[in-house]
Amino acid sequence: MRMSTTEKFDLLRDQLVEGDDGAELDPRLADPAWGEAPLGYPRLGRVRLLLAANIVAGVWYFSWLLRPDRVGYPVLYGILLVAELFNLAQAVGFWVSISRQRRRPDAPAFDPTTRVDVFIPRYDEPAEIVAPVLRAARAMRGADVIVHLLDDGDDEEMLRLATSLGVSYISRTRHNGAKAGNINHALTVTTAPYVVVFDCDHVPHPDFLLRTLGLLVADDKMALVQTPQHYANSLENEVAAASWAQQALFFGCIARGKDTLGAMFCCGTNVVLRRTALGDGFPEDSLTEDFSLSIRLHEDGWRTAYVPEVLAQGLGPEDLGSYLGQQLRWARGCLSGLSDALSSRLPLRIKAQYVLSSMYFLTGWTVLIYMALPVMRIVTGHQPLATTNADQFLLHFAPYYALCLGSVAIAGGGKYTFRAFTLSAATYWVHVTATLLTLARRRGRFAVTPKTSAGERQPLAAWPTLVTVALLLGVMAYGLSKSRDASMFNNVAFAGVHACILLVGISAAFHRPAARDRFEFQE
C-alpha cells in the first residue's frame, strides 16, 4: 500500500531529524516533494492534439521558408536555415518523445533478503551534506542494504561519520577515473548483485528500493532503473529553481518518452544497477560516464527503465558559477559521447534518442545565430530573408513558434519556466565552448558541482553573456543613430529581446544568494 506524501515525509523526518534544537532544517528534509507531482504529468490528449497542430505549423513555416525566393543574403540564409533545421530536428525528436508517455505499473515485489550495495561517492563535500544521505540510505526498506561511503577525499571526518552512522567506508589509494573510478573501485570490494548510486547530496526516500528494485529483479535483461534528480533547494534559490525547471522537463515528459522507447539512459545518481550488467564498470575516460555506460549497455542488449517519481532529494547549483560548471561538464561529456552515439550499433529509435540528447548541447549555437542575425542586419544591412515582407514571415513563423512553446509548456506540465529558458539561453556560450573544446580534443577534468552557493555576486562568471549584452546594446544604439524606420525598429526590437533574455538569464549573478544557515550535522 502506498503512503501519502505527508506520511512519507513524516516518517523520513522522524528517522532523520533527531533532537532538532532550532537549527535550520535541511531543504532536502524540510519540504520534500515526493512522487510524480514535481514532474507534472500532461494530458496526453492535449499533447497529441498540439503535436498535430505543431506538425501542420512546421510544414506551413518550412514550406514557406525553403522556397528559393526567400533567399536574401545567401550566407546568412544558409546559417539561418541550419539553425532552423537543427531546431526542427530537436523539436521533432521532442515531439516523438512526448507523444507516448509510459506509466509503469508498480514494481513487482521481491525477496526482502535481496542484497543491495548502496554507493555514495564523495569527493570534497562537507559532512552536513553527506550525513543525511547516509542516514536516509540506511533507512531504505525492502532489501538487505549495505551503505558504502566512497570517499575520494581521504577525509578523516568522513571516516568518523561513517563509523558513527554504521556505514561502510571505502577509500582508495589511487584516485584515478574521478567518480567512475571511485565507483569501479567500490565494485571490486563489494559483492551484492544490485548496486544503487546516490550522489552524496541526494537523500533517498525509504521506499526507494521498493519502487525500483523489483523491476530489476523481475527482468533479467534489465540493466538499470533510473529515477529523477530533484533539487530540494529549488524553492529557496533562483538558480536552483531554474535548473530544476530544466531538469523537470527532462525527467518529466522526455524521460518518460525515452522510457517508452526503451532508450532511457543512466544519469549517474538515483539509479539502481545490476552488477552483472556493469561488466568492466563505468567508463573512466568520459566526463559523463553514465551516458557512455548506457550506450554500452544498450549495445550489449540490456534494457533500461525509468520510474518517474521523485524518490531522492538533492541540491541543485545555487549560484551561476556552479551552474556553469555543471553545464560545461554535461555539455562536454555528451558532445564527446556524440561520436559514440553515432557509431553505436543500436536500433534507430534508441540511437536517435542518444544523438538527440547529445546534440541538445549544440543549441547554444542556434542562440548565437539568432542573436547575430539582427546585428548583421543593423551593421551591414544584409539579412537572410529577402524579397519577402515582414508580415509574411510573421504570419508563417508565429504559429510555429507559439505552438512549439505551447507543446513545451503543456507536455512539461507547466514546470518549464521562463527563467529556465533564459538561464539556458544566457549560457549559450557554454555550449559553444564545449563544442570547441570537444573538437580540439582537449581533455576535461571532472569537477564536482558545488552543493552550496559561494554566497557572493558573480557577475564575472557570466562575462561572455555580459559582453554579448553590451554588444547588442551597442548595436541597437548604432542602429537607431543610423535610421529610425520601421525596418530598423524591427531589428532593434529583435536585438533588444535577445538582450532582455540574456539579462534575465544571468540576473542571478548580480544577486547575493540568500544566506542559508548551515544545517547542523549531529553525530
Partner 1 sequence: MSAAPLGATPVDAEFTTSRPIARDVARHASAVGAQVAAGAGNLVFAIVAVRLLPGGAYAHLAVFVAAYLLVNTPAASLTAGASMRPDLTTRLVPLTLRLGVLIAAVLAVAAPLLGNQLNVPASLVLLLAVDAVAAGPLAVLRGSLFGRHRMSGALLGIVSEPAVRCAVGLALIGPLGAVGAATGVVCGGYAALALCALYSHRAGLLSFGRVWHDVRHQPWRPRSPGERAELGQAILRPMPTVIAFLLFAVVTAEDVIIANRVLDPTVAGVFAAVSTLGGAVLFATATIPLIVLAPSRRTQLESSEQPLLTRRKATLTALAVTAGTSLLASGVVLSLPTSVLHVALGERTAAVRAVLPTYLAAMAVLCVARVVLAWLCSHGRGAAAAYSTGAAVLVQIVLLLHAQTASAAATATLVAGAATLIFYVGQALLVLRTLTTPNNLATSNNLATPSRPAASAESPSGSLPRATVPADVSTDPPETFAPEAAGPKHSTAERLPLLTRMRRIRMRRPQDLRWVIGCAVLGLAIRIATDRSVWIDEAISVHEASQPYGTMLQLLRDTDVHPPLYFTLLWGVIHLTGSTTEAIVRLPSLVAGVLLVVVAYYAAREFWDRRSARYAAVIMAVGPAAVWYAQDARMYALFMLFTTLAAWMVVRVLRHGRWRDVGVFALACGLMLWTQYDTLLVVLTLLAALGGAAGYRWWRDHRNRALLWRSLAASGAIVLMTLPLLPLVLHQYQHTAGVASVPSQAGQAADTASQGVNIYSALAGGTWALFGYHSDHVMLLINAFWPVLLLLVLGSLGRGRSVPVRVLALMALVPPAVLFALAQSRSDLFDLRYFSATVPALNLMLARMVASWPKGWFTRRAVPAVTAIALVAGLVDEQANSSNPRVYDFRSAVAYVRAHSEHGDLLLYGPQFLQPELEYYQPGMASAPIGPVGDTTAHPHVFLLGSFLNEKATSAAVGTTLYKLQHSRHEVAKVNFPNVTIWEFE
Give the interface with partner 1 as residue ranges (CB under 8 A). 245, 390-392, 394-395, 398, 401-402, 405, 408-409, 414-422, 484, 486-487, 489-490, 493-494, 496-497, 500-501, 507, 511
Query: How far apart, in whole angstroms, are the C-alpha atoms of residue 518 and residue 455?
Result: 12
Cα-to-chain-centroid distance, residue 383? 35
CB 391, min distance to partner 1, A: 5
CB 405, min distance to partner 1, A: 6
DSSP code of residue 512 = P
CB 332, min distance to partner 1, A: 28
What the block records as the C-alpha cell of 116 is 543491495
What the block records as the C-alpha cell of 318 is 545555487
- What is the side-by-side strand order in the sheet with 312-314? 203-204, 312-314, 230-231
Query: How far apart, in whole angstroms, are the C-alpha atoms of residue 10 and residue 12?
Result: 5
Query: How far apart, in whole angstroms, are the C-alpha atoms of residue 296 and residue 286?
Result: 13
For partner 1, the closer CB: 139 or 501: 501
Query: How far apart, in whole angstroms, are the C-alpha atoms of residue 505 and residue 503?
Result: 5
CB 407, min distance to partner 1, A: 12
Q: How many CA atoms lie within 13 A of 483 on its CB side?
A: 13
Count CB neighbours of 230 within 10 A: 27
Count CB neighbours of 78 within 10 A: 12
E strands within 393-486? none
CB 483, min distance to partner 1, A: 12
CB 160, min distance to partner 1, A: 43
3-state DSSP assignment of residue 303: strand
DSSP code of residue 252 = I
For partner 1, the closer CB: 136 or 403: 403
For partner 1, the closer CB: 156 or 485: 485
H or E segment to which residue 196 belongs? strand 194-197
For partner 1, the closer CB: 489 or 521: 489
Query: How far apart, in whole angstroms, are the C-alpha atoms of residue 506 and residue 504?
Result: 6
CB 49, min distance to partner 1, A: 15
Query: How far apart, in whole angstroms, are the C-alpha atoms of residue 374 and residue 492?
Result: 7
For partner 1, the closer CB: 9 or 400: 400
For partner 1, the closer CB: 60 or 169: 60
Residue 220 burial (CB < 10 Å; 0-12/13-18/19+)?
A: exposed
Query: How far apart, in whole angstroms, are the C-alpha atoms of residue 134 and residue 335?
Result: 33
CB 516, min distance to partner 1, A: 19
Q: Where are the alpha helices (DSSP H) in 227-383?
A: 238-249, 255-261, 275-278, 289-299, 320-343, 348-359, 363-380
For partner 1, the closer CB: 56 or 398: 398
DSSP code of residue 350 = H
For partner 1, the closer CB: 41 or 446: 41
CB 425, min distance to partner 1, A: 9
Query: How far apart, in whole angstroms, are the C-alpha atoms of residue 412 and residue 407?
Result: 8
CB 412, min distance to partner 1, A: 8
For partner 1, the closer CB: 281 or 399: 399
For partner 1, the closer CB: 326 or 424: 424
